[in-house]
Amino acid sequence: MYQSFLSWRFLTARRINWVGIIGVFVGVTALILILSIMSGFLDQQRRMVRGTLSHIVIEPSPLPHIDGEPLPKSAKPLLSAVLEDERVEAACAQLSWFALLIQGGRGSAYSASRLSDTTSAKLVGVQVVGVDISDEFRTTELRAALELPPEGMSFGHVPVDDPDNPFAAPPGEDSGGPWAWCIVGQQLAIVHGLHRGSEINLGTMVPDPMTGEVRQSNRKYLVAGTFRTGENESDLGRIYVDRAELHDFLATGRDYSQVLVKLHDYEADGEVIAKELSSTLAAKRLLRSADMNEVKTWEQYRRNILGAIENEKVLMAIMLSLVLVVAGFSVFAILTMMVAEKRRDIGILSALGGTRSGTLWIFLLIGFWDALLGATAGAVAGVLGATYIDPIERAISEFFGVQIFDRNVYLFDHIPAVVDPVSVAAIVLGAFICTLLFAAIPAWRASRLNPLEALRYE
């Protein structure tokens, strides 16, 4: 076809066409890179939002069952009922309460003075979570959180002597009293200068379920080590202790506040299972009612923040698509110029028997080549760039001697990037559509030109 032959010649003869190709290239590369990194960030964020949760959260109402019978005070019946379902892989009970970190104890004078300084108006509230450690390990990611964090993240890490048994007194440690051991978030340990064997004093207030009277109590714990989940809120404000120990300390009500459930295949039918659990457990009088939202998937549990993340992604994609519009516009500008320049040639083609649609195709095809070359190179560069963003960033940072991506700020050990083939395909397709639409305008004008205007006078 003379159209494709000529469009290629017109394309390669004029160096200005590089501008169009590079425009598409830069647009596609940038879009893929940025979306991949954004996806990576959002994925990380999602994972962190899930954080210390498992797949399903069961939070029984404090009220009795709707027929009036109080819910059991022990987690045992609920746990065994949940485990009866064969789609459930593991479950654990947690007792969770809030406490004030009143003062650092032995070996933490620095934080002791800080915490007792009333003028700073700083109260350190922490979440104390009582867990059954082996159930917990089977259900959540806590076991992994005790390991040495990845390079760059390990500052402040205090290894637990026996990670499989973190609440046991380390051999040879003098506890200095009958106190229990706990594990604290790594950030918390950094802020308060905690290390292995540090004493912490937790103060709390517990309302009496009968009288409503608030009782104050406090208890000392010893730091066995740190955990790091990557979720800032937990790492900065959470302390794990043994559940029976915490129940003893609080000395009130139920010995659990929620049950976390891990499924064999959450992605497949997590929501359905949550619904079914809700009705079977309510029927067994382990929940107040089947429709009180006492059973939630972790995504329902954290819906607000997850919705925001999804929104962010869509918004980002829409705004970034403007890059493609800019690329398309550069193609439009160049083609408009070329059409003006090629009036005479359009006339010649007409004299040789070319048609209007032939002319249209020549210029549309120039747009097509721009899109093909630019988008292909852009897709390759974008995918490669996103895949190797981490070493690339390190190399650039090293070269310029400036830290571009501070891994500590994000609590990431590497720049997260997720290359989604569907997004890449969509971006390439978008580049084609955009470029061709923009090329179509000058191409249409070229086909409407009166060829003789150009031929008659020189």
Please name which of 142, 115, 281, 92 lies closest in space to residue 202, comparing C-alpha atoms. Answer: 115
Unique residue bearing structure tokens 């912490």:
200
23 versus 354: smaller Cβ distance to another protein = 354
Which ranges constitute the DSSP H helices of 14-153?
17-50, 76-84, 109-115, 133-139, 142-145
Binders of another protein in range 227-266 (CB under 8 A): none
* C-alpha separations of 236 from 163, 192, 259, 288, 296 in Å: 20, 10, 23, 33, 25
Query: At its nearest, how many Å lie between another protein and the CB of residue 14?
Result: 8
Q: Which is nearer to another protein, 226 or 350 (CB)?
A: 350
State the nearest-atom distance from the C-beta of 356 to another protein, in Å. Answer: 6
**Cα–Cα distance between 431 and 424 in angstroms, integer?**
11
- Judged by CB under 8 A, the stretch of 6-14, 116-124, 326-334, 403-411 that binds another protein is 6-14
Number of residues that bind another protein (CB under 8 A): 27
- Please, what sign has the CA dihedral across residues 75, 77, 83, 88? negative
Task: For the CB of residue 355, give the shortest distance to another protein in the complex, in Å.
Answer: 4
According to CB under 8 A, which one of 9, 215, 303, 448 is a site residue for another protein? 9
Closest to another protein by CB, 135 or 345: 345
Supply the minimum distance, in Å, between the C-beta of residue 435 and another protein: 21
Which 339-378 positions form the footprint of another protein (CB under 8 A)? Answer: 344-345, 347-358
Q: How far is the CB of 347 from another protein (least distance, A)?
A: 8
The candidate with the shortest Cα–Cα distance to 442, out of 352, 331, 354, 368, is 331
Rounded CA-CA distance 324/383 in Å is: 17
6 forms part of the interface with another protein (CB under 8 A): yes
5 binds another protein (CB under 8 A): yes
By beta-carbon proximity to another protein, the closer residue of 69 and 458 is 458
For residues 252 and 233, is the Cβ–Cβ distance under 8 A? no
How near is the Cβ of 22 to another protein at its closest, in Å?
Answer: 21
* Cα distances (angstroms) measured from residue 54 to each of 80, 198, 378, 382: 17, 30, 39, 34
For binding to another protein (CB under 8 A), which residues are involved? 1-3, 5-6, 9-10, 13, 344-345, 347-358, 451-452, 455-456, 458
